[in-house]
C-alpha cells in the first residue's frame, strides 16, 4: 500500500505556509512539524509583522510543537521547512534534539551548513526536496520587492 | 562626574534576573537590554516553566526590546547577559544587529565562541564582567540539582 503521507506531502504543507508568508509581504519561508504522520505545528515567517528577528517559521514551529507535546524535546518529530535553517534556528533545533530535518532550498549565504552551526547528534538531515518550488517563491518575492523600491 | 550607570551596574541587573530564574528552578541565566542608560528589556531563562527550548533569557530580551523600540533592529543597544550566548541566541543577536554584547561567565562547552557562531560585523563583544558571581550561581544550581536526583 502506498502511504500518502510521505516527505513530499508534508513539504507541500510547508510550502503552503511559505505562500501564506508571501501573501503577507514576509520573506516566504514555511514550516511544519510532524510526528507519526500527524502535523502538530504549522508556522510561517512573521519577522516583519511582529517586528521580531526571532519570528522565523522554525522558531514558532518548535515552540508550538513543544506546547502540543507538553515537553520541550522533539523526539520522533520531523521538521519540514522550505529554506535551510539559519544559525539561530539550527541552534534552537540543536536544543530540541529533533529527530529529523527536511529542508527544500539551500541557503548558501546564511544557512547553517555554510555558517558551521552544530546540530544535535540525534538529528538526521536532508535537503533539496521540492527545492525548485521553494526557491522560485523566494526569488519572486525578492524580485518584486526590488521593483517596489 | 561619575556615571552610576556603567557596565557593572547593568550586569548586576542581569544577575538579579539570573537569581529570579534560580528561584524558579530554572538554569540561572539573566539578561537586560539597555539603550542610552535605560533598561528596555529584562528577562530570565524560562525553558522549564514554558517547556520551550527557545525561552532563553536573551531570546525573550530581544523580542521584548524590539517590541519596546517598535523595530526589529537593536541599533545603539547593549545586551548584558550572565552567561555567554549559545548558537541560537548568538544567531538571533546576529539578525538583530545589536551594537554591543557584554557577558559575564564563559560557556566553554556551548558558548557561541567555541561553537563558531558568527555575530554581526556591527556588534562589539566583551566577556568576563562579574564572571565570578554569575559562575557561582550556575555552579550552585547544578550542585543542588545533582543532589536532588
Other beta carbons within 10 angstroms of residue B117's beta carbon come to: 26
Distance from CA of B88 to the nearest CA of A (A): 4
Beta bridge partners of A123: none
Q: Is the pTM of this model over 0.90?
A: yes
Contact at CB, B117 and A54, closer than 8 angstroms = no
Distance from CA of A120 to the nearest CA of B (A): 12
Q: DSSP state, B24?
A: T
Question: Which ipTM score applies to this complex?
Answer: 0.96
B95/A contact by beta carbon, under 8 A = yes
Are the C-beta atoms of residues A29 and A137 closer than 8 Å to each other? no
- Residue A64's closest CA among A53, A79, A76? A79
CA gyration radius, chain B:
15
Contact at CB, A72 and B52, closer than 8 angstroms = yes
Where do we find the cell 566577556?
B127
Out of A66, A96, A118, the one facing B115 most closely (by C-beta) is A118
Q: Which residues contact B148 (CB under 8 A, 6 or more apart)?
A: none
- Residue B53's closest CA among A33, A57, A65, A14? A65
Contact at CB, A88 and B88, closer than 8 angstroms = yes
For every one of its 149 residues, what pLDDT tens digit does chain A have, with 9 covering 90 and above? 677 889 999 999 999 999 999 999 999 999 999 999 999 999 999 999 999 999 999 999 999 999 999 999 999 999 999 999 999 999 999 999 999 999 999 999 999 999 999 999 999 999 999 999 999 999 999 999 888 87
Amino acid at each position: 500500500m502506498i502511504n500518502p503521507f510521505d516527505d513530499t506531502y508534508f513539504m507541500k504543507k510547508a510550502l503552503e505556509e511559505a505562500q501564506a508568508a508571501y501573501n503577507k509581504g514576509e520573506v516566504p519561508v514555511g514550516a511544519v512539524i510532524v510526528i507519526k504522520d500527524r502535523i502538530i505545528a504549522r508556522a510561517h515567517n512573521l519577522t516583519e509583522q511582529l517586528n521580531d528577528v526571532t519570528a522565523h517559521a522554525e522558531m514558532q514551529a518548535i515552540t508550538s510543537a513543544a506546547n502540543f507535546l507538553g515537553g520541550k524535546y522533539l523526539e520522533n518529530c520531523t521538521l519540514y521547512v522550505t529554506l535551510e535553517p539559519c544559525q539561530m534556528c539550527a541552534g534552537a533545533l540543536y536544543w530540541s534534539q529533533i529527530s529529523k530535518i527536511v529542508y527544500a532550498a539551500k541557503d548558501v549565504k546564511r544557512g547553517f551548513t555554510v555558517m558551521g552551526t552544530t546540530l544535535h547528534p540525534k538529528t538526521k538531515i536532508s535537503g533539496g526536496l521540492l527545492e525548485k518550488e521553494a526557491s522560485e517563491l523566494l526569488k519572486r518575492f525578492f524580485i518584486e520587492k526590488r521593483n517596489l523600491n
